[in-house]
Amino acid sequence: MLSNSDIAELLAEQAERETGVLSRAFRRAARSAFLWPEEVCDLIATERPLTELRSVGPFIAKQIQTWIDKPPLPVKKTPAIRRDFISLAEARRVLATRPEWSKELRGDLQMHTQWSDGSATVAEMADAAANRFYEYIAITDHSKALKIAGGIDEKTLQRQGNEIAKVNSALSKSRRGLTVLRSIEMNLNPRGEGDMSPDSLLALDLVLGSFHSVLRTTEDQTERYIAALRNPYIHILGHPRGRIYNFRIGLKADWSRVFAEAAELDKALEIDCYPDRQDLNVELLKIAQKHGTRISLGTDAHHPWQLEFIELGFAAALQAKIPENRILNLLPVVELRTWAQSVRDRITRTQMNR
């Protein structure tokens, strides 16, 4: 039987054969297939309409039904730009083998608010997280160089900090058990350098560093990653490859060397759980597992409902057999902050000894 991932690939292939509105509709449905909560075959078995699914209208539903009735043969190998993405239905099957996972997961370490390109306030994101019984979240709005995403400068970051302090005070009074961590998704240039002042970064709980430029080069980018990991102000390297489903394949590197460097520095690489990114993917996570590298889970949510994307990242970590003690999101908030401070202390000592 065809899985949702199989159907996503068939939809993407059909989009390439169509033009105009139809091409866009099939492409949109292919992306949405990774968020369908149930397998298509299960819907059909219970005689429910496929139009229940996101981005599926009557025309596309008819095409999917045709594929289900008579699966195309032979099935082409999925191209690299669409390979190794997990569907939500698949993720939930993986997580069902470990029903305690939702109680183990303590937080989400990447999300955006109205301070940059998100749709919700800090309080609204915190409320959504508290409803998931999280212990903490990190607010990681974009930094100033990423103007297209409304990146914030040092003064704005300080004003945001004041708002976060007020939200934390309200959360404490309501006894909801959630702490909002001050953080940022700092834009990195290809040399691994950030765009924010050291003083502004030292005031934060965590710093996520991410590349947003020169992401289509085919040359080896190992040195770029090494430089970023050695940036003394970064704790987590966000969406490392920079891949996007059916749009950008992502950067190449000697990943064994990159993960080994991160483990040596006790820094983390992120699984960006956004469905179009899923970066790191399972293939690379298996390399991270061999090196004992720390892993961070961040939904990259821009709306409160997108916190559910965490399931895709956690399922990938389980498939790659990442040990619990290497996943930051399973640490209590006190231990998370202790780790973050130890990273800064270690880098400071290293610089003093040079």
* The pLDDT of residue 343 is above 80: yes
Residue 122's Cβ-side half-sphere holds a number of Cα atoms within 13 Å equal to 28
pLDDT band with cut points at 50, 70 and 90 for residue 226: very high
What pLDDT sits at residue 349? 62
Query: Mutual orientation of helices 20-32 and 4-17 as an angle, nearest 10°?
Result: 160
Min mean pLDDT across 63-77, 109-123, 190-204 is at 63-77
What pLDDT sits at residue 258? 98
Write down the mean pLDDT value for the chain.
95
Cα–Cα dist 89/279, whole Å: 18
In sequence order, which residues have a C-beta less than 8 Å from that of residue 258 and are 6 or more positions away?
Answer: 222, 225, 226, 229, 240, 269
What the block records as the tokens of 285 is: 């996570």
Domain with CATH 3.20.20.140 in the chain: 92-353
Percent of the chain with pLDDT over 70: 97
In sequence order, which residues have a C-beta less than 8 Å from that of residue 14 and are 6 or more positions away?
Answer: 26, 63
* The pLDDT of residue 347 is above 70: no
What pLDDT sits at residue 191? 93
pLDDT digits (tens, 9 = 90+) for 40-50: 999 999 999 99
Q: Which CATH architecture has domain 4-78?
A: Orthogonal Bundle (1.10)
User: Is the overall model pTM greater than 0.85, yes or no?
Assistant: yes
- The mean pLDDT value for 166-178 works out to 94
pLDDT band with cut points at 50, 70 and 90 for residue 348: low
Cα–Cα dist 288/293, whole Å: 5
What pLDDT sits at residue 74? 65
CATH topology of domain 92-353: TIM Barrel (3.20.20)
Domain with CATH 1.10.150.110 in the chain: 4-78
What pLDDT sits at residue 1? 86
Min mean pLDDT across 27-31, 102-106, 326-330 is at 102-106
pLDDT digits (tens, 9 = 90+) for 3-12: 999 999 999 9
What pLDDT sits at residue 350? 56
pLDDT digits (tens, 9 = 90+) for 17-41: 999 999 999 999 999 999 999 999 9
pLDDT digits (tens, 9 = 90+) for 267-304: 999 999 999 999 999 999 999 999 999 999 999 999 99
Alpha-carbon distance values, 185 to 143, 180, 348 (Å):
6, 15, 21
Label each residue of the chain as H, E or C: CCCHHHHHHHHHHHHHHCCHHHHHHHHHHHHHHHHCCCCHHHHHHCCCCHHHCCCCCHHHHHHHHHHHHCCCCCCCCCCHHHCCCCCHHHHHHHHHCCCCHHHHCCEECCECCCCCCCCCCHHHHHHHHHHCCCCEEEECCEECCCHHHCCECHHHHHHHHHHHHHHHHHHHHHCCCCEEEECCEEEECCCCCCCCCHHHHHCCCCCEEEECCCCCCCCECHHHHHHHHCCCCCCEECCCCCCECCCECCCECCHHHHHHHHHHHCCEEEEECCCCCCECCHHHHHHHHHHCCEEEEECCECCHHHHHHHHHHHHHHHHCCCCHHHEHHHCCHHHHHHHHHHHHHHHHHHHHHC
* The pLDDT of residue 209 is above 60: yes
Cα–Cα dist 44/49, whole Å: 7
* The pLDDT of residue 177 is above 60: yes
pLDDT band with cut points at 50, 70 and 90 for residue 313: very high
pLDDT digits (tens, 9 = 90+) for 59-78: 999 999 999 999 987 667 89
Cα–Cα dist 138/157, whole Å: 14
What pLDDT sits at residue 64? 97
